[in-house]
Amino acid sequence: MDKAGDGSAQQKKGMGMVGLNSDDFVEWVTRKIERPIKKGIADPIIRTGLVQGFLNWAKRNSTWPLHWGIMCCAIEMAATSDPRYDVERLGVIYRSSPRQVDVLLLNGPISHKLRPMARRLYEQIPDPKWVIAMGECTICGGPYYDSYAVVKGAYTVMPVDIFIPGCPVRPEALMYGFLKLNQKIKAEKAGYVTTRKGRKVSSRDGRMADFTGKYTHEVPEGRR
């Protein structure tokens, strides 16, 4: 028994790198990759100029959205990737698994039944991740704004980065939204982006509201 135990320990020490065991692989990743990144690369030129810039370039030119259609805006999402509006020029490739994805593209009203699944999909995406709310149903409920079954805006469930109004959104408008996301990632170092009206907002996190919060301006009472 003792001999066998010693042998296995020696084997582990001797290998040093990746074993077939998945636990070994996780150990190797934490030791070789995660710790140095957390500790920080010593050379400032390499850290800021090369690594950060390169990673940013790679991030903003490969915004892969999740291939997930909720309702009719999904048809426009499909039309965006056809040869006429070839969206793969911008590095937008639809992927079917949330593990391989950077962007959660929400296209349609999120019902209360769908809400936990949408939140789970958001949490399954690995970390540099963004959310695009496409169409008015996702932004604020749209025509179902007084329905008992629809969430009033995706930004009550998860932080949303880009809001694209339209019903449905035109394919070019969706591409414009992706270009806006591109700009937002590019401005990560600066920390702010300017909106269409000229306001400065944070470029590092999306917009999130509480459930009790306001999602529309109050309609005057005489009109209800």
Partner 1 sequence: MKSQKAEGKGTATKKRRRGGVFRPILVTLKQAVQTAPLIHKIVPGGRKPVTFLYPYEKLESYQSYRGQHTIDWFKCIGCELCAKVCPNECIYFEFIKVEKDSPYTLPRRNKTDTMKGQVRRPAVDVGHCLFCGDCSEFCPTDAWMFTQDFELADYTREDLFYHADELRKPDELSDKKQVLLNRQGDEPILDVDVCIGCARCDRECPTGCISMTQGPNLRKGKPIQIPEFNYTVCIGCQQCCDVCPVDCLHMQETTYKSMDQFYNITFPGEAKPLEEWVARKSPRYQMPPKR
**How many of the chain's residues bind partner 1 (CB under 8 A)?**
48
Window of 6-14, 45-53, 122-130, 203-211 that interacts with partner 1 by CB under 8 A: 203-211
> For residue 56, which phi and psi values (nearest 5 degrees)?
-65, -45
Q: If binding is defined by CB under 8 A, does position 14 make contact with partner 1?
A: no
Strand partners, 132: 105, 162
How many Cβ atoms are within 10 Å of 215's Cβ, its own excluded? 15
Q: If binding is defined by CB under 8 A, does position 184 make contact with partner 1?
A: yes
Q: Give the dihedral sign, CA 134/208/183/49.
A: negative
Return the HEC string of 20-88. CCHHHHHHHHHHHHHHHHHHCCCCHHHHHHHHHHHHHHHHHCCCCEECCCCCCHHHHHHHHCCCCCCHH
74, 77, 155, 157: which one contacts partner 1 (CB under 8 A)?
155
Window of 39-47, 48-56, 64-72, 162-170 that interacts with partner 1 by CB under 8 A: 162-170
Q: If binding is defined by CB under 8 A, does position 219 make contact with partner 1?
A: yes
Window of 5-13, 19-27, 28-36, 79-87 that interacts with partner 1 by CB under 8 A: 79-87
Rounded to the nearest 5 degrees, what angle is found at the Cα of 170, between the Cα atoms of 172 and 116? 110
By the criterion CB under 8 A, which residues form the site for partner 1?
83-86, 89, 136, 139-143, 145, 153, 155, 160-167, 170, 172-173, 175-177, 179-180, 184, 193, 195-197, 199, 201, 203, 207, 209, 215-217, 219-220, 222-224
